[in-house]
Amino acid sequence: MKFKKYAKYLGVATLAFGLATGCQSTGSTSNTGAALSANDQAVQQIITDAKAALSVAKTGGYAWRDTGKFIKQAEEALADGNTAKASSLATKALEQTEMAKKQDAEQDKAVKERFNQS
């Protein structure tokens, strides 16, 4: 069961990464300019994926209120060297964007069903 959950998030992360990579005009390797460890790079990638997914959610009009706050807190935690906290917050933000996407689809379906039956 956990494997399916993580596989789903990996798919979302891969999609978000593809969007972020394809749409970026310039970029930097880190906020501080210092070399990042492998763990820090992985967390930075999750943060980047969460930002891309949040951008898509905002465009679609289904972004949740606190998702941006979690991303900002994750960036601050990473800058402070707290990789575990940053990873947790970034993953939470990524999960929220996925849940918001599902909520949007369900609400859209419910509205269509309700008004098509009249």
Q: What is the tens place of the pLDDT at every residue in 56-77?
A: 999 988 999 999 999 999 999 9
- The answer to whether residues 63 and 100 touch, using CB atoms and an 8 Å cutoff, is yes
Does an H or E element contain 51, and which? helix 38-60
How many C-beta neighbours within 10 Å does residue 83 have? 17
Both tokens assigned to 41 = 């790079």
Q: What is the tens place of the pLDDT at every residue in 1-18?
A: 565 665 566 556 665 555
Taking the whole predicted model, whether its pTM rises above 0.85 is answered as no
Q: What is the tens place of the pLDDT at every residue in 21-69?
A: 554 444 444 444 456 688 999 999 999 999 999 999 999 889 999 999 9
Both tokens assigned to 48 = 């980047």
